[in-house]
Amino acid sequence: MQLGVSSSCLREVSLPEALRWAGESGFQTVEIDAPPMSVRAGGSWFQQSSLNVSALDGAARDALVSALDKAGLKAAALAWRGHLLEADADRAKAAATHLGRVVDAAATLGIGVVTIYVGRTPGATLGDAIAEFARRIAPVLVQAEASHVRLAISTSPMIGWQFEDLPGNAAFCPELWEKIFTHVRSEALGLALSPADLAWTGVDPATAVTDYAEKLFLVYALDVEMLDLRRQDCSVLRPSGGWWRYRLPGLGVIDWRRLIDRLHEIQFAGSLVIPQEDHVWQGSLDKVKIGLSLARRHLVQFLP
């Protein structure tokens, strides 16, 4: 198990600079953001801290590999930022095309994981959204299997993505994971587990880690704080009502000693990646870096 950071935390700097800082700060891996970008004349292979896979020619590939090597980092994953379940057919096609490009880039770079979302079709039930996702992901899965790339589904509920107070990602609990893996029987499809989101929705992260050990491709080091007085006002039925908030590891309710011990027990060999979504430690690049360093300091005491 290796400790990493998401490049999206450092969006104020260039990708090479983000990699340099992560390596110098003691991180071992990085999840590299790879959102859709257009190819412009003379366009760079990166835009801020994100990778432009549309401009990833031979020279760009060599530049990224060199930047990783100089930083002493390995790429834990490429992060696709898209939605296959777009209601608009053209947008859905564009999302699928971009996912294919990200999988190609991962294969070319020797990166074994691409993190994705199931999403949700507006107006559809969770079950229908999963069935449609299974249909739309099938061609990309064939590509991923042939390229030895694995797709890791984010387990964040993405509250409010389509509708206020409703989950926008139909992959936020074990019951839904079972439905997904029933519809899509592929060893190339697994989970990018978010312990923080499991905790605030009432699921024990350590139990989930045990039950889905073979499907864990990546784990996010993200904590959560519960605000009981606020929940008394808005109830659990208003998940965007402000009764919980993301925190750095060690500043929330998750027992990281227990969780990391469980990851050791199941012989998890992937990356524990810090996404830094703690608003207390945001607002400036310096605060983000301090927050990431504090999170690392808390987690390394449980790592060999």
121: domain CATH number is 3.20.20.150
Q: What type of residue is 124?
A: A
Please state the rounded mean pLDDT for residues 55-77: 96
Asked if pLDDT for residue 123 goes beyond 90, the answer is no
How confident is the model at residue 155, as a pLDDT?
98
> pLDDT tens-digit profile of 72-89?
999 999 999 999 999 999
Q: Which domain holds residue 105?
A: 2-300
User: What is the tens place of the pLDDT at every residue in 208-225?
Assistant: 999 999 999 999 999 999
Q: What is residue 152's three-state secondary structure?
A: strand
- Range scoring the smallest mean pLDDT among 54-58, 112-116, 139-143, 255-259: 54-58
Dump strand ranges (E) for the chain: 2-6, 29-34, 46-47, 50-51, 74-80, 113-116, 150-154, 189-193, 216-220, 223-226, 244-247, 271-274
- Can you say how many angstroms the Cα of residue 48 is from the centroid of all Cα atoms in its chain? 18
What's the whole-number mean pLDDT along residues 94-123?
96
Say what the pLDDT of residue 40 is: 54
CB neighbour class for 204 (10 Å; exposed up to 12, middle 13-18, buried from 19)? middle
Report d(CA 41, CA 43) in Å as an integer: 5
Residue pLDDT, tens place only, 133-173: 999 999 999 999 999 999 999 999 999 998 899 999 999 99
| Alpha carbons 112 and 106: distance in angstroms, whole number | 7
* Structural domains in the chain (count): 1
Tell which phi-psi region holds residue 48, choosing left (phi > 0), alpha (psi between -120 and 50) or beta. Answer: left
Average the pLDDT over 67-72 and give the result: 98
Percentage above 90 pLDDT, the chain: 94
Rounded CA-CA distance 277/189 in Å is: 25
Q: CA 222, CA 9: separation in Å to the nearest integer?
A: 13
What percentage of the chain has pLDDT greater than the value 70? 98
Kindly state the average pLDDT of the residues 31-48: 81
Average pLDDT estimate for 270-277? 96
Q: Is the pLDDT of residue 17 over 70?
A: yes
pLDDT of 41 > 50? The answer is no
Q: Tally Cβ neighbours within 10 Å of residue 94.
A: 15
In this structure, what token pair is assigned to residue 236?
Answer: 């659990």
Q: In DSSP terms, which residues pair with 116 in a beta bridge?
A: 153
pLDDT digits (tens, 9 = 90+) for 286-298: 999 999 999 999 9
Round the average pLDDT of the chain to a whole number and report it: 96
Give the global pTM: 0.96
